[in-house]
Amino acid sequence: MAKMSLLISVLVGNIFLLVAQQATAQPPSFLYHFCLNDKGNYTLNSTYQANLNHLLTTLPTSQNDNGYGFYNVSYGKGSDKVYAVGLCRGDATPDVCRNCLNDSTHVLTDICPNQKEAVGWYDNCMLRYSNRSMSGTPDTTQIFYMWNIQNVSSSNVKEYFDDLSTLLDGLKREAASGGSLRKYATGQVKAPEFLTIYALVQCTPDLSENQCINCLDNVYGQIPNCCSGKVGGRVIGPSCSVRYEKNLFYGSPNNAPPPSPEVTTGPINNTINNATEGQKSSDKTRIIIIAVVATVAGVALIIFFAVCLSLRKSKKKVQDLKIYEPVDEMESAESLQYNFETIKVATDQFSEDNKLGQGGFGAVYKGRLANGQDIAVKRLSRGSGQGDLEFKNEVMLVAKLQHRNLVRLLGFSLESSERLLVYEFVQNASLDHFIFDPIKRATLDWDRRYKIIGGVARGLLYLHEDSRLTIIHRDLKASNILLDEEMNPKIADFGMARLFVVDQTQGNTSRIVGTYGYMAPEYAMHGQFSAKSDVFSFGVLILEIVSGQKNNSFRQGEYVEDLLSYTWRIWREGNTSKMVDPLMRVGSASDVMRCIHIGLLCVQENIANRPTMNAIVLMLNSNSLSLPLPSEPAFFMHSNTGSHMSFGSDFNSRETTKSSNHSKSESINEASITEPFPR
Per-residue pLDDT tens digits for 219-233: 999 898 888 889 999
pLDDT value, residue 596: 96
Report CA-CA distances (Å) from 45 to 56, 112, 114, 170.
Answer: 16, 16, 10, 49
pLDDT value, residue 513: 54
Question: Residue 628's closest CA among 605, 613, 607, 610?
Answer: 610
Strands 125-130 and 118-122, by their bridges, are antiparallel
pLDDT above 80: residue 465:
yes
What contacts 495, CB < 8 A, 6 or more positions away? 394, 397, 398, 401, 409, 471
Q: What is the mean pLDDT of residues 317-346?
A: 60
Least confident of 85-94, 329-338, 573-582: 329-338
pLDDT value, residue 528: 76
Which residues share a beta bridge with 233?
147, 244
pLDDT above 70: residue 208:
yes
CA 474 to chain centre: 16
Which residues share a beta bridge with 188?
198
- How large a percentage of the chain has pLDDT more than 70? 70
Of these ranges, 202-216, 284-298, 368-382, 638-652, the one predicted with the greatest mean pLDDT is 202-216
Q: Where are the beta strands (DSSP E) in 333-432?
A: 355-359, 362-368, 374-380, 409-415, 418-424
Angle, CA of 258, 251 and 236, to the nearest 5°: 95
pLDDT above 90: residue 111:
no
DSSP classification of residue 339: P
Q: What is the mean pLDDT of residues 171-186?
A: 93
pLDDT value, residue 519: 79
User: Could you tell me if 399 and 411 are in contact, meaning their C-beta atoms sit under 8 angstroms apart?
Assistant: yes
Give the model's confidence band at 308: pLDDT under 50 very low, under 70 low, under 90 confident, else very high: low
3-state secondary structure of 108: helix
CA separation for the pair 116, 34 (Å, rounded): 12
Is 162 a known active-site residue? Answer: no
pLDDT value, residue 31: 82
CA separation for the pair 52, 130 (Å, rounded): 9
| Torsions phi, psi for 616 (to 5 deg) | -65, -45
- How large a percentage of the chain has pLDDT more than 90? 39
CA separation for the pair 411, 497 (Å, rounded): 17
Give the model's confidence band at 344: pLDDT under 50 very low, under 70 low, under 90 confident, else very high: very high
Give the model's confidence band at 653: pLDDT under 50 very low, under 70 low, under 90 confident, else very high: very low
Give the model's confidence band at 58: pLDDT under 50 very low, under 70 low, under 90 confident, else very high: confident
pLDDT value, residue 292: 41
Q: Count of residues for the chain?
A: 679
pLDDT value, residue 280: 40
Q: Is 226 exposed, middle or buried (0-12, 13-18, 19+ CB in 10 A)?
A: buried
Tell which wins on pLDDT, 157 or 275.
157
pLDDT above 60: residue 430:
yes
- Secondary structure (DSSP) of 411-438: EEEEETTEEEEEEE--TT-BTHHHHT-T
Buried b (16+ CB within 10 A) or exposed e, 181-209: bbbbbbbebebbeebebbbbbbbbbbbee
pLDDT above 60: residue 326:
no
Sign, CA torsion 374/377/456/553: negative
Predicted TM-score (pTM) of the model is 0.48
Tell which wins on pLDDT, 625 or 604.
604
pLDDT value, residue 83: 95
Give the model's confidence band at 159: pLDDT under 50 very low, under 70 low, under 90 confident, else very high: very high
pLDDT value, residue 676: 31
CA separation for the pair 477, 517 (Å, rounded): 9
Helices (H) and strands (E) in the chain, counts: 20, 19
Q: Given 65, 163, 432, 475, which residue is catalytic? A: 475
pLDDT value, residue 171: 96
Tell which wins on pLDDT, 186 or 150.
186
Tell which wins on pLDDT, 676 or 467.
467
Tell which wins on pLDDT, 30 or 93.
93
pLDDT tens-digit readout, 507-548: 444 444 556 678 778 776 777 778 898 999 999 999 999 999
- Average pLDDT score over the chain: 75
pLDDT above 60: residue 1:
no
pLDDT value, residue 187: 95
pLDDT above 50: residue 197:
yes
Of these ranges, 370-374, 470-474, 553-557, the one predicted with the greatest mean pLDDT is 370-374
pLDDT value, residue 289: 40
Angle, CA of 11, 16 and 18, to the nearest 5°: 95
pLDDT value, residue 561: 65
pLDDT value, residue 497: 57
